[in-house]
């Protein structure tokens, strides 16, 4: 069919008038998107410039940064804060950790550290936290002066962990009450084969046999015994608070004497 060239040109002009603005709009949108991507994602505006730590005492920020899967220079919106929390929590001194975004270029890391309450001998020395849980092997750099829990083997800990952790929690509670009572500093808490407890305290290694159970009453009785000895200018070498037949009786061997002094009742040694 014959076509009129002029009519064809008019039709093309009308199509161009309709399509050209849309094409220009699409080009502008694409250009703006590319620019935004370059500035916001590929550029430095949303890159992590600082990871700020709070609550550190024993742990250094450098140690935690080495553990972290999130690094300086990573995109703040792509940073996996959950994975970072899990990684930092693997540090033995860390009890809990929270990571949050604080602005476009900063992460804030709030840390709660464990507190060492005692040391336990399990074929090697390990630190116990305030709940009596083993959380790391003791090292010279820890710089701690804590009572040592003895009488428990490593094999026993592995085979009966729940039971042993209960004993360790009891030992930590004993150390806390002992300190609150103001008694001479503890050096050792010992469990014998029958789970009887003996503690050693003070510069002279005073031995106090506590046996099992009724800890509060025994410590109160010990306080009266030590007070009475102190008023008389005497020191105890061994104190027995574990008489099962007569729980109210206390036996004392004075320091520097071969014999012993004993008494019964709750009024004094």
Model confidence over 69-79: pLDDT tens digits? 999 999 888 88
Give tens-digit pLDDT for 195-235: 899 999 988 889 999 988 778 888 888 888 888 888 888 88
Is a pLDDT exceeding 60 seen at residue 261? no
- Give the confidence band of 194 by pLDDT, cuts at 50, 70, 90: confident
Mean local confidence (pLDDT), 29-43: 56
Average pLDDT taken over every residue of the chain: 83
- pTM of the predicted model over 0.95: no
Is a pLDDT exceeding 60 seen at residue 20? no
Mean local confidence (pLDDT), 58-75: 93
Q: State the pLDDT at residue 269.
A: 39
Tokens of 55: 């609550």
Q: Half-sphere exposure of 113 toward its Cβ, with a 13 Å CA cutoff? A: 15
Q: Phi and psi for 22 in degrees, rounded to 5?
A: -65, -40
Q: State the pLDDT at residue 141.
A: 80
For residue 32, the SS3 value is helix
Pairing between strand 261-263 and 250-254? Answer: antiparallel
């Amino acid at each position: 069919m014959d076509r009129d060239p002029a009519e064809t040109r008019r039709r093309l002009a009308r199509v161009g008038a309709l399509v050209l603005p849309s094409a220009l709009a699409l080009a502008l949108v694409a250009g703006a998107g590319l620019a935004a991507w370059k500035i916001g994602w590929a550029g430095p505006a949303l890159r992590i410039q600082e990871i700020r730590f709070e609550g550190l005492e024993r742990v250094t920020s450098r140690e935690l940064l080495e553990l972290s899967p999130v690094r300086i220079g990573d995109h703040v919106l792509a940073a996996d804060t959950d994975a970072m929390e899990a990684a930092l929590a693997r540090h033995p001194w860390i009890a809990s950790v929270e990571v949050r975004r604080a602005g476009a270029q900063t992460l804030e890391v709030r840390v709660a550290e464990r507190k060492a309450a005692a040391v336990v001998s399990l074929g090697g020395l390990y630190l116990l936290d305030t709940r009596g849980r083993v959380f790391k092997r003791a090292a010279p750099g820890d710089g701690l002066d804590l009572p040592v829990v003895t009488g428990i083997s490593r094999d026993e800990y592995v085979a009966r962990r729940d039971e042993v952790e209960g004993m360790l929690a009891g030992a930590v509670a004993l150390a806390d009450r002992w300190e609150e009572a103001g008694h001479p500093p503890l050096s050792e808490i010992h469990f014998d084969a029958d789970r009887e407890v003996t503690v050693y305290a003070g510069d002279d290694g005073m031995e106090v046999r506590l046996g099992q159970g009724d800890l509060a009453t025994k410590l109160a009785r010990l306080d009266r015994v030590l007070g009475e000895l102190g008023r008389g200018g005497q020191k105890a070498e061994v104190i027995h608070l574990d008489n099962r037949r007569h729980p109210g009786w206390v036996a004392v061997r004075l320091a520097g004497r071969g014999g012993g002094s004993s008494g019964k009742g709750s009024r004094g040694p």
